[in-house]
Amino acid sequence: MQKIGVIGGGTMGAGIAEVCIRAGSDVVIVEAKPEFADAAYERVSKSLSRAAARNKITADEADAALTNLRVTVDYDQLADRELVIEAAPEILELKQEIFARLDAAVGPDAILATNTSSIPVIKVAAATKHPERVVGVHFFNPVPVMPLVEIISTLTTATATADAVAAYVKDTLGKNPVRAGDRSGFIVNALLIPYLCQAIRMLDSGYASAEDIDTAMKGGCGYPMGPLTLIDTIGLDITLAAADSLYDEFAEPHLAPPPLLRRMVDAGYLGKKSGRGFYSYEK
C-alpha cells in the first residue's frame, strides 16, 4: 500500500500523515473546513522542519516528503486510496458519520482504519456496509517518535485486512505492530488509564502533591514521566474519553473517571494544549 488517506489533520492525524510521507507514501489529508486543511498542512510542514533542524532527517528529505502530501475538504479525493486512517476526535457518533461517508467514497478494495484509542472498533465498523475491511490502527503520540502501533481486529475484520495493515506499519513505516482484541482500551489504555485515574484520586484526596506523586513514580518505578504530567501531555479530555469508554465497556467501579478529572475538563483545563492542567504551561 502506498496511497494513503488520513481523516483529520490535528495532532494525531498530522503525525500519522508525516510518518507516511516520510516513508514515501502518497498521502491525502481530508479536513472538515478549508482553514483546518491549511492548518494541517502547516502542522506537518513545521514538524518536518523541526526534524531537519534536529538532524533527524535532511532538509532535502523534508522537502521531498512534503511533496507527497495533499490536503483537501473533498472526500472524493479518497477514491483511489488503498488505506484510509481516521484520526478524528474520540466521539463515536462523529466516527460513525465519517465511516459511513468513507464507505461510499473509497474503492471496493480499500481498507478503512480508525485510530481510536479506546472505542471498540466494531461500533465504528457497524456504520459501513463492509465491516470486514475495517480495522483499528492505534498510533501513539508523538507519532513520529513513538514506535508502537496497536492493530485491533473486530469479530468481522478479515484476516487479510489486519495482516495487510500490520505489514504496512512494520515494513513501510518501520514501527512495531502488536495485535489486540476489540475491547475498550485495547492493550495500552486498558492498563494505563486506571493507573492515571488512580493518581488523580490520590491527588484529590490530599494524600500527596502532584509533584510528589510524579517524582515518586519516576524515581520508584523508573517511569520517564509521572502520571499527572503524562495526563497533561495526553490531554485531560482525551484521558476522560478513554476512561468513559472503559467504564461503559466493563462497568467496574475502579474504572469510573474521577470527579476531579471531569470538573477540570469542564473548566477547560486540558493540559499542555490549553496551558493549564495539573500544572501550568506558558502558551
So which residues are the catalytic ones? Answer: 117, 138, 150, 189
Tell me how far apart the 2 most distant CA atoms of the chain are, in Å.
Answer: 56
